[in-house]
Amino acid sequence: MLDNMIRTILIFALATVAIAPAAGAIEVAPGDGLRVEESRVLPTGTKVAEKTIPFTLEFAEPGDEGGFSDLDADGTLTTSVYRNPDTGRLSFVYDVFVEETRYSSADPNLFREPTQEGSRLGVSDFAGFRTDVAGDFGDRGTFALTRSAEGSTLTGHEGEGLGNAPLLIVHTDAVAFDDTGTARYDAVSEFLVGPENDQRARGAAVILNGTYNPIVPEPSACCLALACLTLLPRRRR
C-alpha cells in the first residue's frame, strides 16, 4: 500500500512539469478530432532510442494480373525517442518511407509513390498521457488528426490525392518508454491493372509491432526522475 502511495505522489509530482513548447505542435485530448498544421521540425534534445521496422504493402486484388503497374511496395517505419534536457520529458517520432512503384511499361522511368490518394498512420499506446502533436502527411498545409476516446491511439491521415509517406511527432509528459507500441499504416494509390490496364484505386495496410511508446515508470524510476528534475533549477542559477 505504501508503494502505491509513493508511486501516486511521484507520478503526480512529475506530471506538474509542463511539456516544453513545440514548433507547430497542438495539444490533442482523448476524443479530439482536428486539423494540425504540417511541420517537419524534429524535437530538440537527445535522441535516446531509434529503430527501423521494414514492411511491404501489397495492393493487388483478384483480377489485377497482367497490368503494367507494380502492385507491391517496400517501406520502413523509423520509430525514435527524444528526451528534452530541461524537463526530462519524452517526444516520439514515427517516420514512414515508401519506395516508388512502376506505373507504366510504356515509360520505364515513370514511377509513383504509392501513397498519393490516401495516407493514414495510427500509433499506440498513449493512454493516460498528455500529447502535443505535429507532423506532415501531404501537400495541403494541414492534416487531419484524431485521438481515440480512451486516449490510446493517435491517427493522422490525408487523402483526396494529397497524401504522402507521413511523419508523426508526439510530444508527451512521459519520462519513461518501452517498445511495446503498435502502428498501423494504410496507403491508397491508383494503378494500371488487369489485361486492359484500367486505372483503379487500390489500398494496402500493414500492422507493425515493437514501436516506441510512453509508459508509467516503476516507483524507483520515478524517484530517480524526480531527483533529476528537482536539480534542474539549481543548475540554471
What pTM, to 2 d.p., does this model score? 0.83
Domain ranges of the chain: 2-14+25-231
CA distance 44 to 225: 19
What type of residue is 152?
A: S
The answer to whether residues 223 and 10 touch, using CB atoms and an 8 Å cutoff, is yes
What's the confidence (pLDDT) of residue 139? 74
pLDDT at residue 55 in the model? 98
Residue 83 forms beta bridges with which residues? 46, 90
The pLDDT score that the predictor gives to residue 43 is: 94
Q: Is the peptide bond before 125 cis (omega within 30 degrees of 0)?
A: yes
CA distance 236 to 232: 7
Residue 236: the pLDDT is 40
DSSP string, 70-125: --EEEEEEEEEEEE-TTT--EEEEEEEEE--EE--SSSTT-EE-TTTTEEEEEEE-
Task: Average pLDDT across each block of 10 residues of the chain; the chain has 237 residues. List them in order.
Answer: 42 42 77 92 95 97 90 97 96 97 79 90 97 89 94 91 89 97 96 91 97 86 48 43
Q: In what order do the strands lie in the sheet with 198-215?
A: 33-37, 142-147, 154-159, 118-124, 176-193, 198-215
Any residues with CB less than 8 A from the CB of 224 and at least 6 apart, and which? none
